[in-house]
């Protein structure tokens, strides 16, 4: 719960509250008037984050609606960031011409190394949150990214990039760098690129869930089919046995079996429709953050 506690401390202070840490799992908050109105807290409150909670403390956790309340406080803040990053782990080669001589195979060409200047690239990394609900629920995050300079997809390497980026030193973008890396990507072009990538990625993320759901659907559908087939076969046999019989009683029994067969068929289709509704998967995808790097 340390991460949640630290997040709440930062959020409260950004909204004008004074926060004192009483112990590892308890905070005392002197809330501003807007914060009191938004969260329904008194001016002086104690917040509890651990398992040992007392009556005079407000219990904060992942359950309930606290994340939604904090999200309402954040609004659109933090959804978009534009940062410049100079990788400290990358150094210019001391002898570029020697490096090129090893990397290039130009047996029939004469070439000469002219100069070396810093290279810039610009990337867009988007974070999405998804929630998939059928007979069970799955939630998660995934990232879509691509190089705005070359158009290359970054989806496969973002997982390796994020820990590296977290260790590096950020700074506000320099106007000259922004001008050098500005491309021809319009909002419509970015949306078209992201929309197709999101569809492919969400299908990949949910494939285990969908595979398990299809397996349970087939199991229940087979069970319903076998049950109604037995009912149908038994009624059909009785109807065939009455085929040559005459008289009002036999006619009434034939009519009753015909009605029973029709009822079995209707019930069978109703049960299949209930299954389709029960196992249908509803997916909600929300863009949460963007990093223009």
40-44, 133-137, 170-174, 236-240: which has the minimum mean pLDDT? 170-174
Bridge partners of residue 138, in order along the sequence:
132
- SS3 readout for the chain: CHHHHHHHHHHHHHCCCEEEEEECCEEEEECCHHHHHHHCCCCEEEEECCCCCCCCCEECCCCCCHHHHHHHHHCCCCCEEECEECCCCCCCCCCHHHHHHHHCCCCCCCCCCCCCCCCCCCEEEEEEEEEEECCCEEEEEEEEEEECCCCCECCCCHHHHHHHHHHCCEECCCHHHHHHHCCCCCHHHHHHHHHHHHHHHHHHHHHHHHHHHHHHHHHHHHHHHHHHHHHHHHHHHHHHHCCCCCCHHHHHHHHHHHHHHHHHHHHHHHHHHHHHHHHCCEEEEEEEEEEEC
Average pLDDT over residues 156-177: 78
CA distance 39 to 19: 15
Q: What is the largest CA-CA distance in the chain?
A: 109
At residue 232, the pLDDT reads: 92
Question: Looking at per-residue confidence, does 182 or 143 come out higher?
Answer: 143
- The highest-confidence range among 2-11, 99-108, 168-177, 258-267, by mean pLDDT, is 258-267
pTM: 0.64
State the pLDDT confidence band at 87, using cuts at 50, 70 and 90. Answer: low
CA distance 159 to 65: 30
Residue among 206, 216, 65 at smallest CA distance from 138: 206
What is the distance between the terminal CA atoms of the chain, rounded to a whole angstrom? 30
CA distance 79 to 287: 9
Residue 90 has pLDDT above 70, yes or no: no
The per-residue pLDDT for range 261-278, each reduced to its tens digit, is 999 999 999 999 999 999
CA distance 179 to 201: 31
């Amino acid at each position: 719960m340390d991460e949640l506690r630290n997040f709440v401390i930062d959020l409260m202070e950004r909204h004008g509250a004074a926060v004192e840490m009483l112990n590892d799992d308890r905070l005392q908050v002197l809330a501003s008037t807007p914060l009191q109105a938004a969260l329904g807290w008194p001016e002086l409150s104690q917040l509890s984050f651990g398992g040992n909670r007392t009556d005079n403390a407000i219990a904060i956790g992942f359950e309930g609606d606290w994340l939604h309340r904090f999200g309402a406080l954040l609004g659109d803040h933090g959804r978009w960031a534009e940062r410049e990053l100079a990788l400290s782990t990358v150094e210019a080669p001391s002898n570029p011409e020697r490096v090129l001589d090893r990397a290039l195979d130009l047996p029939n060409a004469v070439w000469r190394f002219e100069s070396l200047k810093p290279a810039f690239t610009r990337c867009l990394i988007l974070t999405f949150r998804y929630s998939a609900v059928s007979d069970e629920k799955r939630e998660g995050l995934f990232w879509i990214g691509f190089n705005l300079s070359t158009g290359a997809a970054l989806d496969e390497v973002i997982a390796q990039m994020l820990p590296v980026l977290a260790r590096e030193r950020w700074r506000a973008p320099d106007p000259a760098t922004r001008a050098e890396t500005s491309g021809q990507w319009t909002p419509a072009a970015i949306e078209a690129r992201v929309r197709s990538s999101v569809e492919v990625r969400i299908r990949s993320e949910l494939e285990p869930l969908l595979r398990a759901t299809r397996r349970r659907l087939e199991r229940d559908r087979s069970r319903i089919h076998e049950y109604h087939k037995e009912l149908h076969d038994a009624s059909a046999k009785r109807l065939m046995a009455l085929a040559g019989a005459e008289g009002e009683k036999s006619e009434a029994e034939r009519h009753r079996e015909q009605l029973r067969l029709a009822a079995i068929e209707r019930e069978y289709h109703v049960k299949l429709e209930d299954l389709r509704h029960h196992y249908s998967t509803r997916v909600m995808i929300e863009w949460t953050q963007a990093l223009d790097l």
